[in-house]
A and B are shown apart, each in its own frame.
Chain A
Amino acid sequence: MSAASAGGAGRIPSPVRAVAVRELRAYFDSPIAYVFLTVFAGAALFTFFNLQAFFTRGMADLRGLFGPLPLLMILLVPAITMRLWAEEQKQGTLEVLLTLPVRDVQLVTGKFLASWILLACGLALTAALPISVALVGKLDWGPVIGGYLGALMLGAAYLAVGQFLSATTENQILAFILGLVVCLGLYGIGTESFAGLFSDRTAAVLRAIGTGARFESVARGVVDLRDLVYYASLCLFFLAGSVMAVRARRWT
């Protein structure tokens, strides 16, 4: 019936997997997952055909998909991370989790994996686009795969930020708004319109820190390993922050 019980006799029970499965089930037992997936895929299609004018550009590429993806993720990722810890706090189940013989890092990892899988499902739905483009024209799959890889990594970073804020605030709405603001901030400081206000050296630093400028090249299909490493570090940084925020609860 469930992924947890389908494992068979020889499987090693893992708290990380148990947490991830529980969180995924919570997403799909509630409207959250369906609303997220519908809005995510719908918005991606809408911007691709309308705002990015796929038909009038006359090119068989997917910049129209990957270009707006960071902003789309910034808007939607906090909606799936805001409940991760705030909900445990509200229901009192935080006490259940934190008194089990499980490390905080395992809890954080399990929750992160669940949210990442949900985001990956959203990205997978948009694969309808490259498939249809490949049918009407000659599509170079390299940049598409690179774009998805970049999007997954950037999304992972945003998810980590969202989880961190959910662990530090007790209120879901607050976690959502802060998640939006922080992710938007991380995106914005690297964009030309913001970084351009500063001297060359500062602007270079801002572009390096910002998630936005880096994704512009990803959207063009140029995936630099440094970009992926950067997203991964950002992700790990905020996951470590989440572990610390959870641990800090024990001091209060």
Chain B
Amino acid sequence: MIELRNLEKTYGETHALKGVSFSISKGEIVGLLGPNGAGKTTAMKIVVGYLLPTAGSATVAGLDVVSHPLEVQRKIGYLAENAPLYLDMVAQEYLEFMADMRGLDAVTRRRRLARVVEECGIGHVLTRPIGQLSKGYRQRVGLAAAILHDPEILILDEPTTGLDPNQIVEVRQLIRRMGKTKTVVLSTHILPEVEAACDRVVILIDGQVRADGALAEITRSRVQVAVLSTRDPAQVREELGHLEGVVSADSSDRGDGFHAFRMHLAGDHEIGEAVADLARARGWRMRELKRDDRSLEQVFRELTESAAEVVA
């Protein structure tokens, strides 16, 4: 549905995107993640035809965004960062204006307006000037305008910044509901957001894709932890280290006769059973056996740090 190939963008001296490639299939909900200034917003602005790329290409449903901007824009609903709106307009007027700009005929306009007003829960603020609405309602009016033409693709730039926790939950539910029928790309630097809503994450750091995959894949670490009781941790460490697929093992004393052993794995295959079998055979008592999955926060920090090392 969306495909970026070696996308580059420079603003004066700043190299915002340094060859970004990834593709998004129909129906996916993808989270675009990265620290501020990583290029998330720039990548989105190119896809929606607001900015032109310096090099590389972006296509939406097979159409190049530079040569066919209008066709691409018809397929996309876009909510820019901070939901910019005409603050002097009444919400209803704004939605009608957007419907006219999208070329919806009068019948479709009436039907879609009623629909998005209900979906976004803005019925009771329709007659109020947008400038007087709270941040949460502005965000919803922006979202309503973005889905007015029932687009196949929804692109949302930090849809929950500045909202209070209740509003965040509401907007997230809304996004998840949209995701059932649409391809959704959302950018954020709030990690629980991706965990809550996305099937897949693409992590951008310093204008480059640093990770791309299912959330579970990215957070899955290559460390197996087993907490065992033993008098001779060195021996256990030795034996665990010889299991197939284990590169090295270390241990730390838990102080009550138990030691936590951490096995670093070479690949992604499962060794839990092998550890359990070995423990049973040797008569070690086992309290815990788990894969030490990283939180997305950790993944993110590690990638950011390794990017910083490359620069340094």
Contacts and interface: CB of A to CB of B under 8 A. Distances in A.
B100 interface: yes
Interface string B46-77: 00111110000000000000000111011010
The dominant DSSP class at the B interface is mixed
Contacts of A18: 97, 100-101
A15 interface: yes
Contacts of B76: 99
A142 to B, nearest CB: 40
Nearest to B108: A13
Contacts of B106: 7-11, 13
B85 to A, nearest CB: 7
B232 interface: no
Nearest to B69: A101
- Residue from A4, A10, A21, A96 with most neighbouring chain B CB atoms (10 Å): A96
A101 B102 contact: yes
Nearest to B105: A13
Contacts of A4: 93, 96-97, 100
A9 B73 contact: no
A11 B108 CA distance: 12
Contacts of B69: 101
Interface residues of B, number: 37
Given A2-B93, A92-B84, A99 B103 contact: no
B88 interface: yes
B312 interface: no
Contact of B85 (A9, A96, A101, A251): A96
A67 to B, nearest CB: 37
B50 A99 contact: yes
Interface stretch (A22-30, A143-151, A201-209, A223-231): A22-30
Contacts of B82: 92
Nearest to B104: A13
B73 A22 contact: no
Interface string B85-129: 111110001001111111111110100000000000000000000
B52 A101 contact: no
- Residue from A100, A102, A251 with most neighbouring chain B CB atoms (10 Å): A100
A250 B85 CA distance: 20
Given A18-B97, A101-B70, A103-B70, A95 B50 contact: yes
B101 A99 contact: no
A4 B80 CA distance: 25
B86 A91 contact: yes
What band does the interface of chain A fall in when counting residues whose beta carbon is under 8 Å from B?
35 or more
A192 to B, nearest CB: 45
Contacts of A5: 96
B158 to A, nearest CB: 13
Contact of A15 (B51, B86, B100): B100
A232 interface: no
A30 B50 contact: no
Contacts of A97: 101
Interface in A97-128: 97-103
Nearest to A5: B96
Contacts of B49: 98-99, 250
A101 B71 CA distance: 7
B49 to A, nearest CB: 6
B100 A29 contact: no
B250 to A, nearest CB: 51
Contacts of B100: 4, 13-15, 17-18
Contacts of A251: 51-52
A92 B74 CA distance: 21
A93 interface: yes
A93 B107 CA distance: 27
- Residue from A10, A14, A18 with most neighbouring chain B CB atoms (10 Å): A18
B78 interface: yes
Interface in A196-252: 250-252
A125 to B, nearest CB: 24
Contact of B78 (A2, A25, A30, A99): A99
Contacts of B93: 2, 4, 25
A98 B50 contact: yes
A206 B73 CA distance: 46
B184 to A, nearest CB: 16
Given A13-B109, A95-B84, A99-B78, 5 more contacts: A21-B97, A26-B86, A93-B84, A95-B45, A250-B50
Q: Which 3 A-B pairs have the closest CB atoms?
A: A92-B84, A18-B100, A101-B73
Interface of A: 2, 4-5, 7-15, 17-19, 21-22, 25-26, 29-30, 91-93, 95-103, 250-252
25 contacts: A2-B93, A2-B96, A4-B100, A9-B106, A9-B107, A13-B104, A21-B97, A22-B97, A25-B89, A29-B88, A91-B85, A92-B82, A93-B86, A95-B50, A96-B80, A96-B98, A99-B48, A99-B73, A99-B78, A99-B80, A100-B73, A101-B74, A103-B70, A250-B51, A251-B51
